Amino acid sequence: MLCCWLSSVISLIWFSNGEFMDSRPSSLGDCAKKWLKLWEKISGNGYGKIHNHYYQYIGSKRVRKTRWRNLLVAWLVLWIIVSFSLFWFMSSKALENRKETLASMCDERARMLQDQFNVSMNHIHAMSIMISTFHHGMSPSSIDQMTFARYTERTAFERPITSGVAYAVRVLHSEREHFEKKQGWTIKRMDSFEQAPPNKDDYNPEALEPSPLEDEYAPVVFAQDTISHVISIDVLSGKEDRENVLRSRASGKGVLTAPFPLIKSNRLGVILTFPVYKTDLPSSATVEERIQATHGYLGGVFDIESLVEKLLQQLASKQSILVNVYDITNSSHPISMYGTYVSYDELQHVSSLNFGDPFRKHEMRCRFKQKPSQPWLAIMTSIGILVIALLVAHIFRATMSRIAKVEDDYHEMMELKKRAEAADVAKSQFLATVSHEIRTPMNGVLGMLRMLMDTDLNVTQEDYVRTAQGSGKALVSLINRVLDQAKIEAGKLELEAVQFDVRTTLDDVLSLFAGKSQEKGLELAVYVSEKIPVMLTGDPGRFRQILTNLVGNSIKFTEKGHVFVTVHLVEEVMESPESETLSLSDNTLSGFPVADRCKSWEGFRTLSHEKPASPCSSLASDCINLMVSVEDTGVGIPFEARTRVFTPFWQVGPSISRMHGGTGIGLSISKHLVALMDGEIGFSSIHKIGSTFTFTAVFTNGCSNTSETKDQQINKHSNSVSSEFRGMTAVLVDSRPVRAKVSRYHIQRLGIHVEVVPNIDQDFSKIGSGNTVINMVFIEQDVWDKDLGLSLFANKFQKFDPPKVFLLCNSIISNRWGRFLGYGVYTPTVIVKPLRASLLAASLQRAMGVGTKGRSLNVEVSGPLLGNLLLGRKILVVDDNKVNRVVAAAALKKYGADVVCVDGGKKAISLLEPPHKFDACFMDIQMPEMDGFETTKRIRDMELNINNSIERREQSVEAYENVSDWHVPILAMTADVIQAPQEECLRWGMDGYVSKPFEEEQLYKEVSRFLCTASDHNTLE
């Protein structure tokens, strides 16, 4: 406690000295900051209150010196009082501990003395029972003086505190003469024995006087050898013994005498007497019944001084305290039974003793031999506290001279803080403005270019338009990346949670880079594990963005070989033995060596054996942990540049930027997006060999159970692409196992059974057997070029229907196709990679003459069908920018919609007041007079009021075209992705979100979620 107090005071003094406010680097200031943080953790809110009060009363104004002087005097007086109070408290505590120690030691000795006395008392009681049984209960008696003496001598160790044991028999006056003749001696008087106690040398029992005539006598008949001189003495003739005997006989319990000098030793002792009865008496027997049943009296002599001496010798600390034992039956004249020591310590403790006789009372009094020493600990502690208080007062006084500087530094810091906050707000406003002002005209430019593409253009004009479109999209992509980086830095980037098909998402990514990979002749492929559910719940846009960044980098830096994307479950990769093998071999997609992908996830915490596999196990029905790897055979990353790969706006060198372009922020954004998905990202790279980037991402299962997952997977691959190919059989000719596995995966997505063979000759043998009907044959380009079995291939099908032959290649090389034309029906159909389900379906439909009834969702819909998708739908477009209204209206009219455009929120409210004919509304956010948020809120309030009125029957539903629940879908259409994200739009009551610049398909897909027409069903089926 003292150390914490001292640390807090020193930390506060350092703070007041301005160490924390000094903007210059200082090791002392850094140390003080650590002390302050540590104290804040210890004291919690307490230090925060001190901190606030400090700046309220010190940092806010200059304080007069007299006030500080008075405060300093009060401080000193306070701690002087605290010092003396602490001294008194510690001294009292030491005295209390001394009392407790004395009480514990005294109680321990009293308990041991009492226990030893009780043991001897129980043994004497047992001897009384033995005498009653073997002496009085048997005729003739089995006990005589010799037997009794021998027995008591041999059992003396069981009674270590008794000097001797004797038995006196009860003799009536009528029986005295007969008794004396039988014993051969005369009953002697006790009082004459007490008046002249014999010494052990001149003792003669014959010299004692006979006992006078009484009603009864109690002469001693048996005695231990140590006290055999008491034989023939009448114990009833002595005053003390008589009272003892009579009380014992009347109560039936052992009783004690007062302390008296023992014969021969002259030491103080007591006699314990037990009655011996003729028969067993009930506990409720009267005194008269007990007298009549009495046989005799058994007594034991106790040497109290010897008992206490033996007890103290057993204790190691016997010299530290003095012990006195008293008989306090007569409280006014207590009899000292042991102890004559003189103590100089006034501290005393009294412990009560219970020797079994309720009439006699005893106690033990204990004192320390030495006086207590001085309380040096209390003295030094109080002096130390006083010294510390004086030292703090001195430091505090010296600190006052620097308060003015602290005030100035504090106010300067607060001013800088306000400027920084204002700069941050200005930065956000600037980004929002730039986003809106650049995206709005870009939306017009790209939209007008798309409209221009729908007109009749010659080849040169079409090439110019496509070039302009590509440049515009590149500019939008750059803007999006910069804004994403800004949102990441501002902490405003959030993920949405919608259902999506991970396989379709990957197909879309491949479609983006199909042209570039074909131009370079690269093998671009993707493989998704069959254990991954069809539908996942997460943010498909951000997932696609990560893949686009990684695949785009791989395409950019790879001149030959392949780019391979694989998607597995984390548990699947950990349990697979393939993950332990190196990838530096020819068993790759293109035959080129690659970097070991296992090293790309070595640092992942989710794969560590010391921690759980993932934040939530993908074995659970609602949580899927994916591992995605992007492998390439590009230039690789130099070793010295690997630590800065994920640094924003950084590239390996200026030559890279000049040669390949780019901003250097794609990987940085990807890393932050992966972190938002509860994942990790890493890479493995070998210079001039290639790189492998791997990341994990956590999604939830979009299917309710496993069976549903499998059914959806089958139906999705068949119905969403084409159902005409289910049940067909295909042969895939490929000599590379990895590439064959990828091709087989894509073909099987159409419901086709696939057989894989390594060469054409082996394929002939399988087809020639006639056991299997082969509908189609897929042959890799390098196998086709290498094998020379085409004539034999034609001869094998003279008796059978020839299958369709498909040639899989990476790029179109026109000078090769001439040699295929001479084979007639065996002329192969060329499919240019990368393979996707939509591409395969379209190629097979064209080649095999099927597919007129169904159409893939991923295949572009023809012009006449586009005009029916939104036919009969009336859509309102609200935007203050005329160009944006024209672009949006043209895009929606292309799908057959009836479009109405207005330039303000007030007009939109008047048009959307129920009843109305609009099926949806696209609403701009930033508009003059009334923005999109306020417009949407008023529309929702208006709809709610009308719905409530209809529900309360205040208005008839017929007046509102028999619609009782009015809610028009309002879709945000904004260029401000900083201050108007999707979550903000949904919070204001909007139903969807489209960011500018938008594509035609974006508008249709977003509005089609809320609309359903017959033409939709016909198209999707």
Reported as a pLDDT band with limits 50, 70 and 90, residue 666 is: confident
859-910 confidence digits (pLDDT tens): 444 455 555 778 889 999 999 888 888 989 988 988 889 999 999 999 999 9
Residue found under tokens 């109080």: 382
Quick check: 277 and 132 in contact, CB under 8 A?
Answer: yes
Provide the pLDDT for residue 945. 92
CA atoms of 674 and 605, how far apart (whole Å): 14
Q: Beta strand pairing status for 920-924 and 970-974?
A: parallel
Does residue 259 have a pLDDT over 70? Answer: yes
Q: Average pLDDT for residues 110-118, to the nearest whole number?
A: 86
Does residue 195 have a pLDDT over 60? Answer: no
User: Between these two residues, 144 and 60, which has the higher pLDDT value?
Assistant: 144
Q: Model pTM? A: 0.53
Give burial (CB, 10 Å; 0-12/13-18/19+) of 229.
buried
Q: Of 243, 485, 452, 277, which is closest to residue 977 (Cα–Cα)?
A: 485
Reported as a pLDDT band with limits 50, 70 and 90, residue 55 is: very low
What number of H helices and E strands is found in the chain? 31, 29
User: Between these two residues, 963 and 663, which has the higher pLDDT value?
Assistant: 963
Q: Average pLDDT for residues 107-126, to the nearest whole number?
A: 87
Provide the pLDDT for residue 581. 43
CA atoms of 743 and 692, how far apart (whole Å): 21
Ranges of beta strands (E only) in 515-623 are 523-528, 535-538, 562-569
CA atoms of 365 and 349, how far apart (whole Å): 6
CA atoms of 364 and 107, how far apart (whole Å): 9
Q: From 3.30.200.20, 3.40.50.2300, 3.60.10.10, 3.40.220.10, which CATH number describes the 863-1020 domain?
A: 3.40.50.2300
Dmax over CA atoms of the chain, in Å, equals 165
Q: Which amino acid is located at 390 in the chain?
A: L
Element (H, E) at 700: strand 690-701
Provide the pLDDT for residue 51. 46
Q: Of 700, 720, 716, which is closest to residue 624 (Cα–Cα)?
A: 700
Q: What percent of the chain has pLDDT over 70?
A: 76
CA atoms of 526 and 720, how far apart (whole Å): 19
Does residue 443 have a pLDDT over 80? Answer: no
Domain with CATH 3.40.50.2300 in the chain: 720-859, 863-1020
CATH 1.10.645.10 fits 104-315, yes or no: no
Q: Average pLDDT for residues 384-392, to the nearest whole number?
A: 89
User: Between these two residues, 612 and 420, which has the higher pLDDT value?
Assistant: 420
965-991 confidence digits (pLDDT tens): 899 999 998 876 665 567 788 889 999
514-527 confidence digits (pLDDT tens): 888 888 889 999 99
Provide the pLDDT for residue 72. 82
Does residue 37 have a pLDDT over 60? Answer: no
The contacts of residue 286 (CB under 8 Å, 6+ apart) are none
291-350 confidence digits (pLDDT tens): 888 889 999 888 777 777 777 777 655 567 888 888 888 888 888 888 766 666 778 899
Q: Of 173, 292, 296, 278, which is closest to residue 223 (Cα–Cα)?
A: 296
CATH code linked to domain 720-859 = 3.40.50.2300
479-528 confidence digits (pLDDT tens): 777 777 777 776 767 788 888 999 999 998 888 888 888 888 899 999 99
Reported as a pLDDT band with limits 50, 70 and 90, residue 653 is: low
Q: Beta strand pairing status for 690-701 and 681-686?
A: antiparallel
